[in-house]
Amino acid sequence: MTSVIATISLKGGVGKTTVTAGVAEFMAGEFGRRVLVVDLDSQINLTTMFLGDERWVKLNAAGHTLATVFADAVDQTSEFSLPDTLQRDVSTVSGVAGLDLIPSSLDLIEVTEELSAMRVRRDDTLAGVSALRDALELVVDQYDYVLIDCPPNMGPVTLNGLAMADGYIIPTIPDVLSTYGIPQVQTYIGRFGEEIGRRIVELGVVITKFKANSSVHKETVTRLRRDSTIQNVLPGYLGEANSIAAAAEFGSHASLRAKYGSRGQFDQFRELTRTIMVEADDKLPLRQLGT
């Protein structure tokens, strides 16, 4: 069974991409799972984190990114090549295998506008939302987990990620501004699930950049845990640490501890990953690509 999980937040700078990449690497490296990461964000941070700039430039020039998937949807063409676009074993950590990537592109900025125009032209809010699912259908079932890094908005590209997802997580810094948009995310995803005829399960809120000595952070976590609208605040809070921030830079690492930090950060990421896997196994339905 494959679990497809979207990572989404309307607030930038909360560590959304780092969470996606870290959880993927821990799933593969610590728990031996086959993982596919899908970078839907036009900022391409997840892509360059795993591939580096030089490799990405070559792929982008050849059209081997997700931008081609959505260009095909707009232009009614068939230019996307899954075998050429799927990048195998992309982890930069020595000994970590089984982690693959579908890369993003800066061209998604323009394509997103064209997708929005297509929806208006057709007077159909669901026009094109199955493009991603259809493009990856042949390989998804080869993985235990598919993690989708969504843009920080609710545009048509994000909707493609949600249309493919079984569940989602919401990374947030535990402060007032960062947590402000969580109810909007929940409400929008709930409504979108109704539109496409199935429930997209909230797996929980992921606490990032946590400062144990901050009264604001501790009070905010307490408030979130007591909030009846929030399904779950996942254990394994990720503390604010230079090592975690530096993990977003492309480069080789001898181990997951070396990449994400050996002063408690490794254990935090491992616990968070284990929790997400347990939540997914408990809450997500048996997946059928055609629904």
| Sheet with 201-207, edge to edge strand ranges | 99-102, 35-39, 145-149, 3-7, 167-172, 201-207
pLDDT at 287 over 90: no
List pLDDT tens digits, range 189-233: 999 999 999 999 999 999 999 998 999 999 999 999 888 777 789
Q: What is the CA radius of gyration of the chain?
A: 18
Contact between 111 and 119 under an 8 Å Cβ cutoff? The reply is: no
Query: Residue 166 in contact with residue 5, Cβ under 8 Å?
Result: yes
- Cα dihedral across residues 277, 278, 283, 284: positive or negative: positive
Please give the C-alpha separations between residue 177 and each of 172, 209, 220, 239, 240, in angstroms, as whole numbers: 10, 14, 11, 18, 17
The first and second tokens of residue 78, run together, are: 């068939």
- The alpha-helical segments, DSSP class H, found in the chain are 16-29, 45-61, 66-75, 82-85, 108-122, 131-140, 156-164, 176-179, 182-196, 215-226, 242-246, 256-260, 265-283
Neighbouring CB atoms inside 10 A of 197's CB total 7
Residues 6+ apart with CB under 8 A from 62: 84
| pLDDT mean over 78-97 | 97
How far does CA 43 lie from the centroid of its chain? 13
Of the given ranges (2-6, 25-29, 65-69, 224-228), which has the lowest mean pLDDT? Answer: 224-228
Judge whether residue 286 has pLDDT over 70: no
According to DSSP, the β-strands at 35-39 and 99-102 are: parallel
Average pLDDT of the segment spanning 285-291: 52
Rounded Cα distance between 8 and 11, Å, is 9
Instruction: Give the whole-angstrom CA distance, residue 198 versus residue 21.
Output: 27
Structure tokens at 90: 């992309």
Predicted pLDDT of residue 63: 97
- Domain total in the chain: 1
Task: Spell 130-145 as b/e; 16+ CB within 10 A means b.
Answer: bbbbbbbeebbeebbb
Going by the DSSP 8-state scheme, the letter that residue 89 receives in this structure is S
Q: Determine the Cα–Cα distance for residues 41 and 66; give it in Å rounded to an integer.
A: 10
- 290 domain-assigned: no
Residue 288 in domain:
no
pLDDT at 150: 96
Rounded mean pLDDT of the chain? Answer: 93
Q: Which residue has the higher pLDDT, 247 or 114?
A: 114
7-33 mean pLDDT: 94
Question: Within its chain, how far is the Cα of 31 from the centroid?
Answer: 19
Q: Is the pLDDT of residue 290 over 50?
A: no
Q: Is the pLDDT of residue 12 over 90?
A: no
**Structural domain of residue 141, as residue ranges?**
3-283
Phi then psi for residue 91, to 5 deg, are -60, 140
255 part of a folded domain = yes
Question: How much is the pTM?
Answer: 0.94
Q: How many CA atoms lie within 13 A of 62 on its CB side?
A: 13
Widest pairwise Cα distance in the chain: 55
246 pLDDT band, cuts 50/70/90, is confident
CATH of the domain at 221: 3.40.50.300
Query: What confidence tier does 289 reach under pLDDT thresholds 50, 70, 90?
Result: very low
Work out the average pLDDT over 130-136: 97
